[in-house]
Each structure stands twice: as C-alpha cells, then as structure tokens.
Structure 1
C-alpha cells in the first residue's frame, strides 16, 4: 500500500507521519509512506492521500481533482485546520475528513473506515522471488503473456510469473478482467478510453484488441 502525506506545515507533517507509521500496519502488511510539502514533480501514484486542503502555494481541492483524474480509485482524506472549506471539498468526493482540531479521534475513525473499505476488496496472492506477495486485484492494470512468462502489471510494479495467462486469470477470479487479445487481459476498472481496435489504460498505455476478441470486448464495454 502506497500512502502520500501532503502538508506544507513541516512540524505537522513530521508528527502526522509518525502517527500513521505507528498505526497503519494494523491494517496493511506492506506500507510505503512518502511526505510532500508541495506537488512539484509529484508522481500521482498512490493508493491513499492525506491532503491538507489549505496549502500556501497550492489549492488542496485542485490537487485532489488532479489525483482523481490520474486515478479515479484513489482515496483522498483531507486533513485541515480550515473547517469552513470542508463543504467546498465535497465536489472531489473525498473518502473522509480529519480536522486538525480533533486529530486523534478523527484519525482513529479514518483508520476504521479504511480497514472496512479494504476488507471488502479482493486480493491476489502469489510467491515471487522467495517472498509472499499479496496485492489488491484493483491495483492490477493488465496481464501480458510472452512465451511461458506472464507479466502482472500493477499501478506501481510489474511481476513476472511462470504461469499461463489462463491459470492466473482463474486464480484472480474476477469479472473485472477481460481478455482483449491472445496475449493480454485487462482490468476494465483501469480502461480510460475504449475504441474499436484498442483500449487506453490509466497509465496511458495503449493495447490492441484482437480481431477474434472485438465482439466480446464491445459487449462488455457497453454494459
């Protein structure tokens, strides 16, 4: 799980980072937390964002809009000392609000809601380089087979498995995945644009639709 904290108050940023580090592993086994005081060179590649609404040089609500443009599944939790901005922030559909004036109580509530949210999600588990890996199926962009090697490409990393594409599809066991050609299956949650001969993914990668798969893909995309 990748988490970003964005706040231009450095003392609060450090304190809040420690608070998250001390508690978040109650929910997630593997966590990466990055801190930012601004969005210069910001990668927009996180699962959860703790975002100050009222930044000195940036508008937190506008940043949230950019985050959603890059990843509609991203979870944004606004952290703010300006309670009057809460209503304005609703238009970007945040996951939750934490008021700095009530930090401890509302942070605990946010953790509880995150736990409930991710407990409802499905995961795909596998062994990789002598490690046990568990990833959200929602994080998988697509699968690609090349000879006997199937690449499982997520938002953050690619894993290369010596398993047939069909076997991995069966193990994932999700209706969100559809095969679009002999070598690729994609997660429809990450299709940004669909055309007759190709699809564009959230990461701006284009994959061709095979002739034999066009009718099946078309039928699925109009559901």
Structure 2
C-alpha cells in the first residue's frame, strides 16, 4: 500500500522525527509513505496538494492546526488527519473531527505506531479499490462503497451502499481471491459481505445498516460471527 502523506509543522526537528518514524514503519511493513513536508507559512500551497494522510502540528504561528484541518477536509473530504502536538490537553478537541487521531510529541514512538495502525485500518476499509469489468471497460470502486457481493451461477452482482447494483461475470471463488481482505465475510455460498456495513448477525440472518437482511447458513454462522467480532475489535 502506498500512502501519500503530507506533514506540516513549524519545527524542522519535529518534521525530521516524523519522517524517520514513517521510514521505520515502512521498513517493517508492506506500507510505503510517499511524504512531503511543509512549514506552517506554506499552508495555502498545502491545500492544493491532495494526500490521503495529513500529520499536522496544532500550535503554529501562521495558522491553528484545527483550523487548517477543517480547510483540508473541505477541500479533500477523504483525508485522514493526525494531530501531533506537545499539548496533550488538546487530545479531546481533536476528536471532534471525523477520522482524526492524536500523537503526543512527548510520547512520539508509541503514539505514532498506534495512530498509524488505526489510519491503515481506515484506509483498508474505505479507500482500497476493487476493479470490475463493465461492458469491456475496467472500472474501479472503493471497498467501502460495496455493501455486499451476490453470486448467481457465474453472474456477480455488486450491491453498493447508494442502492446501485453492478454486474459482471465472475465466480465467488474469484471474488474472494481478488478481494483478499479481512473486512469481508462470507455468510453463505452466494453472499460475501463488507463487515463495515453489518449492523448485526444472528443465526437466521445478517442485518445490514441499510436494514437489508441477507441469509446465513448454519455451517457458516459461528465463523462469520467470530470474524465480525474480530472486525469490531480492530475499530
């Protein structure tokens, strides 16, 4: 996974510490951070650079980090924000922004790894892309937009969270091989469901947040429930 990362801080030493931690994390994982850094006086230029992950100082001379985060989210709604500050008392204020995390500069290494793990979980949920064939054209959709896959013989139906339904020729075995993601759960030989859209699982059905109910077989119930609980534990 390649993550375009933007760092903004008025302290060059702190920027260097963050980039060293990004490099160290990359060396121990399959994640690569394609990062660039800006000083606080360059924030207008920053807004023209679309990244997936933003690491922001809060207390900067030219602009407050919270204000900057709101500007970034308006310009780039899918952005994930990590605040990095020596002011630990600001952690609760940082949580008011969706998909944001907090790193204490005084506890950089431990907080950094925890925040990055959470960010990667969100990226896997929302922004990994699934490729499908539409009338001979290869198109992509984000995993997060997929509620579930339904297979009937060799016809695959991709049910999206907006109510749209796509179709291509593919077997369930091929779908599972292509997805290869722990956030999808097979509850029935014909259904492969995105756990982020599941509200509950019982012995008779899987209930989605959209209130759609899908079948679950007795043979798959225990494993499906276990996988759903594991998904919730990763949140």
Question: Scaled by the length of structure 1, what TM-score is found?
Answer: 0.54
139, 161, 168: which one aligns with 2:138: 168
Report the Cα distance in structure 1 between the residues aligned to 2:80 and 2:94, rounded to whole angstroms.
14
Q: Which residue of 1 aligns with 2:36?
A: 34
Report the Cα distance in structure 1 between the residues aligned to 2:16 and 2:62, rounded to whole angstroms.
19
Shift of 1:48: 0.4
Q: Which residue of 1 aligns with 2:103?
A: 98
Greater Rg by CA: 2
1, 19, 24: which one aligns with 1:22: 24
**Is 1:65–2:70 an aligned residue pair?**
yes
Q: CA RMSD in A?
A: 3.1
Question: In 2 relative to 1, CA 15–60 (structure 1 residues): closer, same or farther, beyond 3 Å?
Answer: same
- Checking the alignment, whether the CA contact within 8 Å between 1:78 and 1:94 is kept in structure 2 is no
Q: Which residue of 1 aligns with 2:9?
A: 7
Shift of 1:21: 1.7
Report the Cα distance in structure 2 between the residues aligned to 1:97 and 1:87, rounded to whole angstroms.
9
Shift of 1:96: 1.0
Shift of 1:118: 2.9
Report the Cα distance in structure 2 between the residues aligned to 1:37 and 1:18, rounded to whole angstroms.
17
Report the Cα distance in structure 1 between the residues aligned to 2:140 and 2:79, rounded to whole angstroms.
26
**Is 1:45–2:61 an aligned residue pair?**
no
Q: Which residue of 1 aligns with 2:128?
A: 123
Q: CA deviation digits over 1:98-143, x for unaligned, max 9?
A: 01111111112112212322333463478xxxxxxxxxx9xxxxxx
Question: Scaled by the length of structure 2, what TM-score is found?
Answer: 0.52
Q: Which residue of 2 aligns with 1:88?
A: 93
Question: In 2 relative to 1, CA 27–72 (structure 1 residues): closer, same or farther, beyond 3 Å?
Answer: farther
Aligned residues: 144
Q: Which residue of 2 aligns with 1:154?
A: none
Q: Which residue of 1 aligns with 2:59?
A: 54
Q: Which residue of 1 aligns with 2:186?
A: none
Question: In 2 relative to 1, CA 28–94 (structure 1 residues): closer, same or farther, beyond 3 Å?
Answer: same
- Checking the alignment, whether the CA contact within 8 Å between 1:24 and 1:111 is kept in structure 2 is no
Structure 2 residue runs of 5 or longer lacking an equivalent are: 143-157, 166-235
